[in-house]
Amino acid sequence: EAGVAQSPRYKIIEKRQSVAFWCNPISGHATLYWYQQILGQGPKLLIQFQNNGVVDDSQLPKDRFSAERLKGVDSTLKIQPAKLEDSAVYLCASSSRRSDRGLGYTFGSGTRLTVV
């Protein structure tokens, strides 16, 4: 099966600019996750979708971050305006529930954002 697709792979922007990331999950995966990974830390969940509904966005900085998954398939994550501390790798993942083997989480290659 095809993996989780993310674009772009790299992005450099100036602070106060806006940026958008795109994710296309594995076909049929109802759950989609966006994680933020700052250098030297583990990934932190920003938002979780179940189909096109938000399940958990408790750690999403809503004053500057937004995400949508309009048709329950691909998703976009936007930052506006960006701050220096937003420099990180943004990871998209999708999952399917398999009762015999637990959850199968698959991660994309990530987008490395540098804010200067």
Which spans of this chain sit near another protein (rule: CB under 8 A)? 4, 6, 31, 33, 40-45, 48, 50, 55-56, 89, 91, 93, 95, 97, 101-103, 105-110, 112
Pick from 35, 38, 40: which is nearest to 4 by CA?
35
Nearest by Cα to 46 from 111, 103, 101: 111
Residue 85 DSSP SS3:
helix
Question: Residue 84 or 103: which CB sits closer to another protein?
Answer: 103
| Residue 12, strand partner residues | 114
Smallest separation, CB 4 to another protein (Å): 8
Smallest gap from residue 42 Cβ to another protein (A) = 3
